[in-house]
Amino acid sequence: MPIQFGSHALNQEHLENLRYYKYAAVDKSLISNYILRHYWNAMVHLFPRWMAPNLITLLGLGFMMINVLFIIIYVPDLGTEAPSWLYFSFAAGLWLYSTFDNVDGKQARRTGTSSPLGELFDHGCDALNCTCVALLQAAALGLGHSFSTVALVLVTIVGFYLSTAEEYFTGVLYLGIVNGPTEGILVSCLAFIWSGVYGASSWHVPLSAVSRLSWISSHLPNGTCFADIFVWGMILFFLITHCPFCFASIYTVCQEKSLKLSHVLLTILYPITLYSLAIYLWVSSPYSHLFENQDIILFSLTIGILFGMMASDIIVAHLTRNEFPPFKVSLGLLWTMALLVNLPFLRTHIITATSEHILLWILFLSLVVLYLVWATRIIQAFCKYLGINCLTIRHTNQTIPRSTEEHVESDALLDQQEQGQQASTSTNGNNKSYSTFE
């Protein structure tokens, strides 16, 4: 029976395309290639060989989810000063997530268990983590339930969406010299540590109050503080170091494959534009009570799960060479709520502060159940076709290296595999891309 989510069906014919799977990624970050790679190669040996790569991925996401729970418990308003240990926990959680997220692929190669399911599981968790990272940033900067918090959530989500759509059309996950998964995470970790040392209130000191920065403040809106600079910096980081390269890669593949650029851009941009517009209409509606109810955390988690569905659907389409998803169900749910809170005649009798809060909870819980059911069915279908388990490694007679020399050889092999993979990705056009629109 085909697995259906929205208008995107997954049947046996699509599963057969998994046999053509070949992971391709390029990471141009100097920090990743010259510093962190050696750290990740060392860290992978701390994990036993019986530990499945997907389990490592899931544990990494768990660190972030625990910290989101800490936010709900200790700083639900996202604005008050929290205990110092909480901000250090944010830094540790994000660093561990990043470590586990990079080690899982090395563990897969180390144990010979690389598969399309690994990419789906990894990127699916990354999609869900977008909201977690933004909420941690908002709490560490003391942004409160504000438009700045929503902006951080949205810019993180849109950035990941463009990378996922880019990979769908090019067949390559491309990370530039400066990218979110490396430099962005390092900046966030440093910001969390700063908050742990000096407190979240330190981000709200106006630039004009710092004598050495007074010349800068004269060119910025009155009252601009360091928290504003951080939020604007994240947006500029997205616009300057991310967007141009995504669209440049898409333009290149359209030229190589003789695809109609306008059609490809429309396919990519209309879903995320409608998604972003619905969010804006909801939070900016004069009849919405999101800020009044202090529901921005719940709202962010809701749109985050909705985005997790959308991103995972693109990844499944990429792996199975299916059509780019239309997201009718996801966008339909979001736009229904956006329209409800913008209809004046519903304000008095239906969309009150209490009813909006209840509707948001119903939407959140419904999406959690829908996502878990759909994800479980997809994972089961992949596992059955590939003959693998999701969170465990099927028993093999593979010998486990124990000596230091063998560990060094294993590190060298991992580096050779990754460097060879990147080289083939950048030189062999046939291996780096495909398109369902050919």
Give residue-wise pLDDT tens across range 293-322.
999 999 999 999 999 999 999 999 999 999
Residue 403: per-residue pLDDT: 39
Residue 254 has pLDDT above 90, yes or no: yes
What percentage of the chain exceeds 90 in pLDDT?
Answer: 76
- The two three-digit tokens of residue 419, written as one number: 């460097």
- Catalytic residue (one of 123, 145, 242, 289): 123
Query: CA torsion sign, 100 to 106 to 112 to 115?
Result: positive
Note the pTM of the prediction, 2 decimals.
Answer: 0.90
Greater pLDDT, 402 or 331: 331
Tell me the CA end-to-end span of the chain in Å, nearest whole number.
27
Cβ neighbors of 271 (< 8 A, separation 6 or more) are 310, 325, 326, 327, 331
Per-residue pLDDT tens over the stretch 71-97: 999 999 999 999 999 999 999 999 999
Strand partners, 4: 9
Residue 237 has pLDDT above 50, yes or no: yes
The total number of residues shown for the chain amounts to 438
Closest to 49 measured CA to CA, from 399, 340, 405: 399
Residue 37 has pLDDT above 60, yes or no: yes
Residue 9 has pLDDT above 70, yes or no: no
Residue 214: per-residue pLDDT: 78
Residue 392 has pLDDT above 80, yes or no: yes
Domain ranges of the chain: 3-432
> Rounded mean pLDDT of the chain?
88
Residue 422: per-residue pLDDT: 52
Residue 10: per-residue pLDDT: 77
Cβ neighbors of 165 (< 8 A, separation 6 or more) are 246, 250, 268, 272, 314, 324
Residue 405 has pLDDT above 70, yes or no: no
- φ/ψ region of 258 (left if φ > 0, alpha if ψ in -120 to 50, else beta) reads left
Quote the Cα angle for 157-292-367, to 5°: 40
Greater pLDDT, 172 or 423: 172
Residue 351 has pLDDT above 80, yes or no: no
Is 145 noted as a catalytic residue in this protein?
no
3-state secondary structure the chain: CCEEECCEEECHHHHHHHHHCCCCEEECCHHHHHHHHHHHHHHHHHCCCCECHHHHHHHHHHHHHHHHHHHHHHCCCCCCCCCHHHHHHHHHHHHHHHHHHHHHHHHHHHHCCCCHHHHHHHHHHHHHHHHHHHHHHHHHHCCCCCHHHHHHHHHHHHHHHHHHHHHHHHCCEEECCCCHHHHHHHHHHHHHHHHHHHCHHHHHCEHHHCHHHHHHHCCCCCCCEHHHHHHHHHHHHHHHHCHHHHHHHHHHHHHHHCCCHHHHHHHHHHHHHHHHHHHHHHHHCCCCCCCCCCCHHHHHHHHHHHHHHHHHHHHHHHHHCCCCCCCHHHHHHHHHHHHHCCCHHHCCCCCCHHHHHHHHHHHHHHHHHHHHHHHHHHHHHHHHHHCCCCCECCCCCCCCCCCHHHHHHHHHHHHHHHHHHHHHHHHCHHHHCCCCCC
- The two three-digit tokens of residue 40, written as one number: 């990740």
Q: What is the mean pLDDT of residues 364-387?
A: 95
Q: What is the mean pLDDT of residues 355-378?
A: 94
Dist CA 294 CA 288 (whole Å):
11
Per-residue pLDDT tens over the stretch 43-74: 999 999 999 999 999 999 999 999 999 999 99
Query: What Rg value do the Cα atoms of the chain yield, rounded?
Result: 22
Q: Give whole-number Cα distances, 260 to 169, 171, 191, 401, 437, in Å.
A: 12, 17, 43, 51, 9
Residue 429 has pLDDT above 80, yes or no: no
Dist CA 66 CA 132 (whole Å):
10
Greater pLDDT, 10 or 121: 121
Closest to 380 measured CA to CA, from 307, 293, 316: 316
pLDDT band at 408 (very low <50, low <70, confident <90, very high): very low
Residue 384: per-residue pLDDT: 94
Dist CA 298 CA 288 (whole Å):
14
Residue 2: per-residue pLDDT: 56
